[in-house]
Amino acid sequence: MRTPVRMTDLALRHAAVAPAVEDRVLSVLRSGAYIGGPVVAEAEARVAGWFGRRGAVGLNGGTDALILALQAVGVGPGDEVIVPALSFFATAGAVCAVGAVPVVCDVLPHDGTLDPDDARRCATSRTRAMIPVHLFGSVAAHPDLGVPVVDDAAQAVGGNPPASTGVITTVSTYPTKTWGAAGDGGFAISDDPALLERVRLLGNHGAQGAHYHLPIGQHVGRNSRLDALQAAVLLGHADAVADRVARRVAIAGRYDEALPAAFRPLARSAGSPVHQYAVRIADRDAVRARLRELGIETAIYYPRPLQEQPALAGRARGHTPVAAAMCEALLALPIHDALSDEEVERVVDAAALVTR
């Protein structure tokens, strides 16, 4: 039986950069400096440069990046934060974590990003922030509501121009991301040194001296630091990011030209890093089952609008018919940078078979 065409292959990815990653990790291990230090600072500078920002703070994950960014811009209990219906749970979960209310707005039918008109309709006198999600790497538009914008750019590393339109941009370096660590990691990125300092303090217990911890606004700090080992892994991968994005773009181009018409790809903004290649397809679940039989892995992003997540019952509100329809039809095809040309053609051929 042929090896399945997988949605991701982290072992192959590591093999391509193993010397760079392992040398950097070994150097950190031998240094004894595992928390903070120059390796973390180098990773912060690298991601800030990619997003065209003045600085960044390394954190222990993309979720905490969202939480601390919201706290840094002043969001607290009882406030409302606008989020799009199509996103990973963390986008709304972070809002709940600061005691605020996720107001889930509908999305645009062509690319699944936040619908600016619906965001305007969702806004109230209690709206204190907005989180546009740069879904699958496409830049999300948003209205000017006079509140801070915190970008969720977890899927947008490597975009050109960068998806970075808010006062703080947040990034996840979960292993499956284009720039992924060997565990959890994330960054908050901004042009505002004061906001970055608030995030850094919030992520280090509010410490402003030995055993001296101050509140940051209305919030108490916590431990949310990016450790030097994960920063070393990220730096070992950093030089490969541009080539990974170029490979994804090339695969997307092949899919665009060769997939049957029944596979309707979501629109992508110019310069998208194509973190996922998502299509609309009739009878999605049946098509997915048939592709699996043919050895093609797929994924569903996302199976339900955010407000329908059981954990958010009674915590989030929203009416999102466009997103609901997309959740029934969207299917993601393999597009990671380790795919061979032969595997890409297997996906194309399988897609043709299931739509005959």
DSSP assignment of 80-131? EEEEESSS-THHHHHHHHTT-EEEEE-B-TTT--B-HHHHHHH--TTEEEE-
Residue 44 contacts residue 58 (beta carbons within 8 Å):
yes
Are residues 145 and 247 part of one domain? Answer: no
CB count in 10 Å sphere of residue 144: 9
Residue 105 contacts residue 82 (beta carbons within 8 Å):
yes
pLDDT of residue 69: 98
Residue 33 included in any domain? yes
Residue 14 contacts residue 175 (beta carbons within 8 Å):
no
Are residues 313 and 199 part of one domain? Answer: no
Domain stop point among 238, 260, 284: 238
Q: What is the pTM of this model?
A: 0.96
Are residues 314 and 285 part of one domain? Answer: yes
Chunked mean pLDDT (size 10), the chain, 356 residues: 90 96 98 95 98 97 98 97 98 97 98 98 97 97 96 95 92 97 97 97 93 92 96 98 97 98 97 97 97 98 97 93 98 96 98 94
Are residues 172 and 84 part of one domain? Answer: yes
Are residues 47 and 177 part of one domain? Answer: yes
Length of the chain as a residue count: 356
How far does CA 44 lie from the centroid of its chain?
17
Peptide bond into 302 cis (omega under 30): yes
- CA separation for the pair 129, 124 (Å, rounded): 11
Give the domain range for residue 301: 241-354
pLDDT of residue 356: 83
Are residues 158 and 249 part of one domain? Answer: no
Residue 180 contacts residue 230 (beta carbons within 8 Å):
no
Are residues 179 and 74 part of one domain? Answer: yes
Are residues 64 and 182 part of one domain? Answer: yes
Are residues 190 and 305 part of one domain? Answer: no
Residue 3 included in any domain? no
Q: What is the CATH number of the domain that holds 40?
A: 3.40.640.10
pLDDT of residue 1: 62
- Counting beta carbons within 10 angstroms of the beta carbon of residue 198, is it exposed (0 to 12), middle (13 to 18) or buried (19 or more)? buried
Are residues 253 and 227 part of one domain? Answer: no
